[in-house]
Amino acid sequence: MPAETRLTSVTGGKNSLTVTWERQDSHVEGYMLQCNTDPSFPDDTVTAISSNATTSKTITGLADGTQYWVRVRTWRKIDGKTYRSAWSAAMGATTNVATDQPLDTSTNEVEPWFTSMVSLTEPTPGKGTLEARWLKGEMDITGYQLQWATDSSFQGVKTADVPGRDETTKTITGLPGGVRAWVRVRVYKTYASGHTLYSSWSNSVSATPTAKLSTQAEEPEVELDADVSVTPQDSWDEPIIDEPIIEETDADDVIELPIEE
């Protein structure tokens, strides 16, 4: 049996994958490659390479922005019969844009190779806030762009960039309590040339933030007995003082009268 080999790298390109593997000289005439979107490789199609000195191959004609799996094995012929080694462990990669692209100057946006490669999960509502969460992008990306609005068609939308492939949450603040808000996300890549490419928008999800608590303390209510009436303070007369009534007559003649009940 020919000696086994193993993959060393699988790199995505525009509608293509570039595959490299270890060279084997011992009883090896060449290599066989398999490439499939299913890691179980249900298709028996192989690409044969007839030199044991060749250790790389670019597979073309693949769908853009698609995950593929690749594996390799060696082969040799003896007396007209082909002998093959066991397959190597599979490696996966996704086709993408290998080089920079010009922008659409009318919108400053294009839909690049990472179309629909990220999706949102249900946001968590708070007091005037939503915590948005999304799945981590699989590609070499610069970051994410988030949009939110209180309209499902994203009228009056607000936008925020979240740099970094590993950043997968953002708390949106300043939302009106009790009003449903919609959120969506997409990924972007900024090239050295300064061009930024955007994916299409993810699915949109929504939730309703709770209302913020009032910052003004409310005065406690006073419970009154049913048979007690209260006169508004602005209609009160001078206070009545419970003391004897003095009736003046002559300066030297003062009579003290009792208070009538």
Residues 1-10 have pLDDT tens digits of 889 999 999 8
In a domain, 189, yes or no: yes
pLDDT at 141: 80
157/202 same-domain check:
yes
Does 247 map to a domain? no
pLDDT confidence of residue 182: 92
Per-residue pLDDT at 100: 42
- Residue where one domain finishes, among candidates 76, 94, 112: 94
**How confident is the model at residue 75, as a pLDDT?**
94
Do 163 and 86 sit in the same domain of this protein? no
User: Which CATH number does the domain housing residue 29 bear?
Assistant: 2.60.40.10
Work out how many domains the chain is built from and give that number: 2
* Sequence-ordered list of residues with C-beta below 8 angstroms from that of 250, at least 6 positions apart, any chain: none
The reply to whether 151 and 80 lie within a common domain is: no
Question: Does residue 30 form part of some domain?
Answer: yes
Domain-terminating residue out of 190, 207, 224: 207
Calpha distance 191→182 (Å, rounded) = 30
Look at residue 223 in the predicted model and tell me its pLDDT: 55
Residues 83 and 146 reside in one and the same domain:
no
Please indicate, yes or no, whether residues 65 and 134 belong to a single structural domain of this protein: no
Whole-angstrom distance, CA of residue 17 vs CA of residue 58: 6
Q: Which residue, chain included where needed, has tokens 């390479």?
A: 49
75: domain range?
Answer: 7-94
Low-confidence residues of the chain, pLDDT below 70?
Answer: 96-119, 138-139, 193, 212-261
Residues 132 and 166 in one domain: yes
Answer yes or no: is 162 within a domain: yes
> Would 236 be classed as within a structural domain?
no
Domain boundary among 181, 207, 233: 207
What pLDDT score does 252 carry? 55
